[in-house]
Structure 1
Amino acid sequence: MKKITILLFLSLINNVFSQNGKIYLKIPKFKTGAENTYVYEPPTGLVIENNSKANILYAFDTDYSVDISPLKKSEKGYEFTAKVPDSARTILVVISDLQKIADNNNNKGYIVHLKTQNESELGKTLANEIFIRYYAVNVLKLDLDNKPENLVLEYETLFKKYPDLKNDKSYLSYLYNLENVKKTKLKDETIAFATRCVKKNNENSLVTAYHIYENYGMQTDAAKIKKEVLKRYPNGEMQKTMFIQGFMNHPNKSEAYVLESINTLKTKFKDHSKRSLSFFYGNLAQIYLSKKDLEKAKSIEPYLYNPSNTYNDAAWVLSGGSLKAPGKDLDFAATISKRSLDLLEEKKKENFYPEYQSLYNMYADTYAHILYKQGKYKEAFTYQDSLRKIDGLDSNGKECYLAILEKVKSQGEVKEYIENEINSNNVPPAIFLTKLKEIYVAQNLPLDGYEKFKEKADKSNKAARAKNVLETFGNATATDFALKNLDGKEVKLSDYKGKVVVLDFWATWCGPCKASFPKMQELVTQYKDKDVAFLFINTWENKKEDEVLKNVTNYITEKKYDFNVVFDSKSEVVADYKIKGIPTSILIGKKGNILFSGHANGSLGEMIDEELK
């Protein structure tokens, strides 16, 4: 007992008093399942504003979140309260006010260990401190060492001190990082860990073993465990996962069905977490918005992670997306688009919101699109011009701005805007050059002046694409792969050596992927008899391979797409090509070099033509 007490004391000293400021539990013993009070002592001389808040990050294998709690003045500085899930072992805290991050402990955050009552619990908590780092870096934007090779060393040091951790799920996190370091799958070590999980014989360990067996195609072992878990834990995590998958695959999610599902999640599975409920309420919000029932949509806003994003997505779909596509229900689209902006402003007033500007740019651009299609050009110009002044317009936004500019300004001013964009070495949308040439012709200007601007724009475009490729991949050489197609035949990238190749990454659950397919079909048809090949790489499907094959075959057949679909069942190709989101297209030139990576099928044809010259 004395040894454990000394460990706890040293841990406390290390985590609290080595920092410039301090955050610690007011009552040293953490109360599981209850609200706990924490003390914050700011660094000497740091002024804390009255509206400041604690941003509290917790993370474990099935969940993570950042909760906000207001600071209250206390005898030792400030206090705040927080209730975290029972599975949380550490919290990482930064302090913010309305304008800024006020104290992030020199960009390292304040770590507080929650479960340290014995040596076993302390070991698991220290392992969680390593695990939480990924979220600290990517969510709180802290400057912590998250390199796999260094995480591996930290885990190995921890395992020497707490060898029982090799039977804990943190060991799986260690193996994952070790695989990244060694660039190879550690099948034997992972299956050995699964065997240890089976011997532990509790729900969490059995479910972990099941997923490992599934991942390595050990269907007999996986099926045996699945049967056992479902029998012993009818209201457990595996059954809940199956319930959620069933909900996702349900073809007709009515309001009654979604509400019934929410009730089942709460009552049968005792899951009241916002992360789980937000998914169901997100579907409910889509139903309400499809019925134009704004009041019902507003009533469930508290249950959504980002209601402003829900409104913006729905408004963008109603707007028709591109400027040329016809919109529908534009008055309602404008109402919910404005709602997205209003909610964003409300959130900004509650706490420092670093994502505010990027989200505002996106939502305001949507609103301007809708206003333009409503014929409210001056109001649309006000929004788009404010974005232009802060360089907040992406390629689509610039197209919209140009269209609005033509409605409210002179032809000379439109010409000046386009030429300034090109002279600034920005990459202009293709429509800019088309419009500039029209103006030169309309004003009887020498076309060699236009050609100079076109040459400069083309150079900027090529340079930007090349820079993006090098920043993303390190080098431009495309990685070869071999995947099965719809007919079960192996398709290699190297089979198309000497041709221009387009890789289009997609999934059956991805709405934007499907929305891009009509345009992709046009391109497939356009280049059918030329040295161009299209491979539609299905990935990130999280289902059994035979089920994915059936779903994809039915979808492609139903839509009558002439696509060569291949299956990245193990998500290896999508990882090799550094894909962060889908849809993403990658253009590979005749010499096997990557020329472009991104989502721009509107200009894909031009890039293909350029390479075919």
Structure 2
Amino acid sequence: MLYYPDALSNELNDQIKWANVYEEFTKHPALAQFVKGNDYIAAEIFSRLQFVLPEAIKETHLLDGIYSSLKLNTSYKVSSAAITMFKVIASEKINLPHDSIQVFRELISQKTKDVIDSIETLPLKYPADKRTVDHFKNSYEYINSDYSKGKLINSNAPEIEFLWCSNPEIKKLSDTKGKVVIIDFWATWCSPCVGSFPNVRMLQERYKEYPVIIIGITSPQGYHMDRKNRARYDTKDDPEKEFSYMPSFMKDMEITWEIAFSKTTVFNPQYGVRGIPHVAIIDTKGIVRYNELRPYDDPSHEAEKIDALLKEAGLPFPANPISTR
């Protein structure tokens, strides 16, 4: 094992060299003319950032070059790549000052709005279907959300209205106020989501007698994946049909917690959901206390957080730590 630190050090040194070359590219005097006429290359400038080690980014002035480059081109591809890039820029591993993150966010927001305006006002020049338009509108909402502004944690949980819920009494997220709420964004096609079910089931078993509710939130996908029979059922433009498959899916998959279909896409921009599964925990007052948790991790980590929130609210909680065996 003695070789590992050296291997890591060598990788970091290589990454710093690559980041310096990357920075020089973003500052090349010919770049402006080049990217204005090539949306693909322009987008690559930003999408490639996710493959650079955060430690290497911190050792260079690469982000200065990235910011300058972002001003040069407005296109579908650039906007999409910039949204992905924002997740990297805002990460704790890079640890940029809040104000610097917000400067990036505001520029990306403007770029995304420019794309939306182009789609809506120049449809002949920028042909796009409804799905494309909805994608960019969702991105615009995401980049302007409290999540992206760094204000979601310790703020009121954004409301989520449900089209269908396994508990008919729950019409919207705020109907659960007074309990500790775990919301797990997922979909039937998502293998990591399904793979995390045993952990979620463990949490449900632990808290079934306590003021805790777990809701797996999905949204109409246009099709349903039947995991038991390995079948895919088309439900395009027929959400009621999609809802009808869920009770049997819950039985087949031994889902013991609540499931709901939301009006908003499962990739909920208000909670910063860019990939699933994605878990948030809300306290009894309806305040978001944790976000971006992963249910396939050891459930004891979530249990510790839930126990602490119950204790804080003066409510009963399990006396013993969760057993994961």
**Shorter-normalised TM-score: what interval?**
0.5 to 0.7
Task: Check whether the contact 2:181–2:281 (CA below 8 A) recurs between aligned residues.
Answer: yes
Task: Check whether the contact 1:57–1:136 (CA below 8 A) recurs between aligned residues.
Answer: no
- 1:502 partnered with 2:200: no
Which residue type is aligned with residue 274 of structure 2? K
- 1:587 is paired with a residue whose SS is strand
Residue in 2 that maps onto 1:132: 77
2-side partners of 1:514 and 1:574: how far apart?
A: 19
Identify which of 40, 64, 68 aligns with 1:58: 40
Residue in 2 that maps onto 1:492: 172
Which residue type is aligned with residue 506 of structure 1? W
1-side partners of 2:262 and 2:169: how far apart?
A: 13
> What TM-score results when the alignment is normalised by the length of structure 1?
0.31
Which residue type is aligned with residue 603 of structure 1? H
- C-alpha spacing 1:569/1:559, structure 2 compared with 1 (3 Å): same
CA offsets 1:33-83 (integer angstroms, 9 cap, x no match): xxxxxxxxxxxxxxxxxxxxxxx8629xxxx9859xxxxxxxxxxxxxxxx
- 1:612 partnered with 2:310: yes
Q: CA deviation at 1:557?
A: 0.7
- C-alpha spacing 1:494/1:515, structure 2 compared with 1 (3 Å): same
- C-alpha spacing 1:535/1:146, structure 2 compared with 1 (3 Å): same
1-side partners of 2:148 and 2:140: how far apart?
A: 23
Structure possessing the higher radius of gyration over alpha carbons: 1
Residue in 2 that maps onto 1:602: 300
Residue in 1 that maps onto 2:156: 477
Q: Please show how residues 574-585 of structure 1 align to structure 2 within 5 Å.
A: 574-585=268-279
Q: Which stretch shifts more, 574-583 or 100-109?
A: 100-109
- C-alpha spacing 1:170/1:590, structure 2 compared with 1 (3 Å): same
CA offsets 1:355-409 (integer angstroms, 9 cap, x no match): xxxxxxxxxxxxxxxxxxxxxxxxxxxxxxxxxxxxxxxxxxxxxxxxxxxxxxx
- C-alpha spacing 1:555/1:591, structure 2 compared with 1 (3 Å): same
- 1:537 is paired with a residue whose SS is strand
- C-alpha spacing 1:612/1:136, structure 2 compared with 1 (3 Å): closer
1-side partners of 2:244 and 2:253: how far apart?
A: 14
Task: Check whether the contact 2:186–2:278 (CA below 8 A) recurs between aligned residues.
Answer: yes
Task: Check whether the contact 1:485–1:566 (CA below 8 A) recurs between aligned residues.
Answer: yes
Which structure would you say has the larger RCO, counting Cα contacts within 8 Å and 6 or more residues apart?
2
Task: Check whether the contact 2:119–2:126 (CA below 8 A) recurs between aligned residues.
Answer: no
Question: Per residue, is there more helix in 1 or in 2?
Answer: 1
Which residue type is aligned with residue 30 of structure 2? G
- C-alpha spacing 1:21/1:145, structure 2 compared with 1 (3 Å): farther
Residue in 1 that maps onto 2:207: 527
Which residue type is aligned with residue 282 of structure 2? I
Residue in 2 that maps onto 1:517: 197
1-side partners of 2:269 and 2:171: how far apart?
A: 18
- C-alpha spacing 1:566/1:148, structure 2 compared with 1 (3 Å): same
- C-alpha spacing 1:166/1:490, structure 2 compared with 1 (3 Å): farther
2-side partners of 1:506 and 1:153: how far apart?
A: 31
Q: CA deviation at 1:148?
A: 3.8
- 2:205 is paired with a residue whose SS is helix
1-side partners of 2:221 and 2:32: how far apart?
A: 42
1-side partners of 2:119 and 2:218: how far apart?
A: 39
Task: Check whether the contact 1:149–1:178 (CA below 8 A) recurs between aligned residues.
Answer: no
1-side partners of 2:221 and 2:288: how far apart?
A: 25
Q: Please show how residues 409-428 of structure 1 align to structure 2 within 5 Å.
A: none
Which residue type is aligned with residue 477 of structure 1? N
2-side partners of 1:575 and 1:152: how far apart?
A: 15
- Supply the RMSD in Å over aligned alpha carbons: 4.9
Q: Percent identity?
A: 19
- 1:555 is paired with a residue whose SS is helix
Which residue type is aligned with residue 592 of structure 1? G
Which residue type is aligned with residue 132 of structure 1? K
Q: Please show how residues 354-393 of structure 1 align to structure 2 within 5 Å.
A: none
- 1:555 partnered with 2:258: no
CA offsets 1:146-171 (integer angstroms, 9 cap, x no match): 54446545876x799xx764674269
Identify which of 127, 150, 153 aligns with 1:169: 127
- C-alpha spacing 1:566/1:556, structure 2 compared with 1 (3 Å): same
- 1:565 is paired with a residue whose SS is strand
- 1:473 is paired with a residue whose SS is coil
1-side partners of 2:269 and 2:105: how far apart?
A: 23
Task: Check whether the contact 1:539–1:574 (CA below 8 A) recurs between aligned residues.
Answer: no
2-side partners of 1:551 and 1:521: how far apart?
A: 20
Q: CA deviation at 1:507?
A: 1.1
- 2:290 is paired with a residue whose SS is strand
**Number of residues of Structure 1 aligned to a counterpart in Structure 2:** 232
- C-alpha spacing 1:104/1:556, structure 2 compared with 1 (3 Å): closer
- 1:132 is paired with a residue whose SS is helix
- 2:268 is paired with a residue whose SS is helix
Which residue type is aligned with residue 161 of structure 2? A
